[in-house]
Structure 1
Amino acid sequence: MNKELLEIYDLNDKLIGTQKRDEFYKEIKEEFAKTGKISRKVKSIRLFLLNSQGRIYLQKRSRLKPENPGLYDKTVGGHVSADDSFDMTVIRECAEELGIPAAIVPYEDFDKAIKSTDLSIIGIFRKIDLNQNFMSTRISINQIKFFKPYISSIYLGYYDGSIKFKDGESTGIEVFSLDELKDELKTNPQKFTEDVKFLLNKYENLLKPIK
C-alpha cells in the first residue's frame, strides 16, 4: 500500500486535512461510482519537457499500469506530498523517473537561462500555470472511465542530455516535433492520454525551439 501522505482540499480550495494516497483514491473512486461527482482534490505537478530543437518528450506508460495503460502521456507527472512544494516535487520526480537534474527559474530569467546553460548537463524549467481544478481523465484496464481532481502546477522545461528510467512505471520515451504530435493526435488519438490532448491544446504556443 502507498502510505504517502497528501494534503486534501475541497473544491473551493480549502484544506481539509491529510490522508494516505491509496485511501484517498479508494474513497473518491467509490464516491464517483455512486454519485458521478468528486468532492475533494489533491496537489500535483505536470511537466512538458522539450529539447533545444523544440522536440517534445512524451513518456509511454507501462501496460501494467492500472490506469491509462500503454498510452503516451506528459513527460512527468506526480503528487505533491504533504508539506512539499510544487517546485520541490517536479525536481524530485524528474530525478526519480528520468534520472535528470533540473533547476526552476522565474519567468523573467527563463529565456536567458535556457540560452546560456549547458542543457546537456541540467534541465531548466519554469512554471507556466496553476490549474486549481484540473480534472485528469483516466481509463482503467477494464475500460472504465473516471476522473482524478487536482490542484495542478504546470511546468515547461528544456533538456538535451540523456534520460534514464529509474522507477519502472514507463516503457520508454518518444520524441515528437510539434507538427508530428499534432498529426499523430489526429490520426491515432487513442494512443494518447486526455492529459496530453488538454495540455497541448492549451499550451501549444509555448512548445517551440530555442532561438
Structure 2
Amino acid sequence: MESERLKIFDNKRNLIGTASREEVHRLGYWHEVFHCWVISSVAGTNCIYLQLRSETKKDYPSLFDITAAGHLLADETVRDGVREIEEEIGVCLNFEELIPIGIFDYCVVRDNFIDKELANVFLYKTTKNVNDFILQQEEVAGMVKADFKDFYKLWLGQKEEIKVSGYKMNSQGERMILNETVGKERFVPHPLSFYQEITHKIKEVIGG
C-alpha cells in the first residue's frame, strides 16, 4: 500500500507529478482523497454513520471516522472514488447518487507523518440501517450511528460527548453490539475546522 502512486499538488492545487504513498506522507505533498459521509433518516431523525477503523491500520487505528474514505490513486479521477464506498462498506452506487459537499484542504502533522489532503467530500442519503453494511474487515472494524444533531453539536463545542450505537467485528468475524458515549478524542484527528465546516455543509443539505 505504501508503494501506491498518488498525484501530488503544489500549494495552489496545481498538479506537479506523482509520488509513492510513503513519500507523500513523509515529505508532506498535497494529495487527493475521497470522503463519503452517509446519512439516514428514520422517524424524522437524521443519523450519521461512522466507521470504526481497524486496530491493525497504520494510521489512526481503532478510531471513529468518515463512513467511507480513501486515497485517489494516480490514475483515478474523483468519480472513481465510489470504489471506496463499495470496498469499505459494501454499498454499490453510481457517482451521480452522491451529493457534492466541496473540496477541503487540511494538514495534520504528527511525528514523521505529514498528511496534507485535498478532500473531495460527498454526502449519500440512504434508508439503510447500521446492520445493512458489509464491512471490509482489513480496513473497517465496525459501524455505528449517531444522531446528527448531537454530532454537529459535538464539533461546535456545545456537547462534550455523544452516544454512538452499532457493532464491532470480533476476531471470528461475528458482530458484537457496540454502545458507547464518546468525545472528540475517539475520532480521527482531522482539524476541528474541518469537522465544523463539513457538519455545517451537511446540515445545510439535510436541514434541521
Question: Which of the five TM-score ranges fits, normalised by the shorter chain?
Answer: 0.7 to 0.9
User: Which structure dedicates a bigger proportion of its chain to strand?
Assistant: 2
Shift of 1:174: 0.7
Q: Percent identity?
A: 22
1:73–1:196: 8 Å Cα contact kept in structure 2?
A: no
Question: Which of residues 72, 75, 91 is equivalent to 1:80?
Answer: 72
Query: Larger RCO: Structure 1 or Structure 2 (Cα < 8 Å, ≥ 6 residues apart)?
Result: 1
Partner residue of 2:179?
Answer: none
Shift of 1:94: 0.5
Question: Which of residues 156, 159, 163 is equivalent to 2:133?
Answer: 163
Question: Which of residues 90, 111, 117 is equivalent to 1:99?
Answer: 90
Query: Secondary structure of the equivalent of 2:190?
Result: helix
2:154–2:184: 8 Å Cα contact kept in structure 1?
A: no
1:4–1:21: 8 Å Cα contact kept in structure 2?
A: yes
RMSD: 2.6
- What are the residue-to-residue correspondences of 1:46-57 with 2, within 5 Å? 46-53=35-42, 54-57=46-49
- What are the residue-to-residue correspondences of 1:135-174 with 2, within 5 Å? 135=107, 137=108, 144=111, 146-161=113-128, 162-174=132-144
1:135-164 Cα deviation digits (max 9, x unpaired):
2x366xxxx485400221111111233110
Question: Which of residues 136, 150, 160 is equivalent to 1:186?
Answer: 160
Partner residue of 1:24?
Answer: 24
**AA aligned opposite 2:135:** F
User: Which structure dedicates a bigger proportion of its chain to helix?
Assistant: 1
Query: Secondary structure of the equivalent of 1:23?
Result: helix
Query: Secondary structure of the equivalent of 2:32?
Result: strand
Distance in 2 separating the partners of 1:202 and 1:125: 18
**AA aligned opposite 2:37:** F
The verdict on how the C-alpha distance between 1:202 and 1:165 changes in structure 2, with shifts beyond 3 A counting, is same
The verdict on how the C-alpha distance between 1:56 and 1:196 changes in structure 2, with shifts beyond 3 A counting, is farther
Distance in 2 separating the partners of 1:57 and 1:138: 26
Can you give the 5+ residue segments of structure 2 that lack an aligned partner in the other structure?
162-182
Partner residue of 2:198?
Answer: 203
Query: TM-score, normalization: structure 2?
Result: 0.72
Partner residue of 1:134?
Answer: 106
Runs of 4+ displaced beyond 3 Å: 144-147, 182-185, 196-200, 207-211
1:153-204 Cα deviation digits (max 9, x unpaired):
1111112331101252121011001233335962322111233854441133
Aligned residues: 175
2:106–2:194: 8 Å Cα contact kept in structure 1?
A: no
**AA aligned opposite 2:87:** E
Query: TM-score, normalization: structure 1?
Result: 0.71
Deviates more, 1:190-199 or 1:79-88: 190-199
Can you give the 5+ residue segments of structure 1 that lack an aligned partner in the other structure?
29-37, 106-123
Query: Secondary structure of the equivalent of 1:195?
Result: coil
1:23-62 Cα deviation digits (max 9, x unpaired):
332x32xxxxxxxxx4x21111112111133210001112
Partner residue of 2:7?
Answer: 7
**AA aligned opposite 1:15:** L
1:43-87 Cα deviation digits (max 9, x unpaired):
111121111332100011122222222111111111111131112
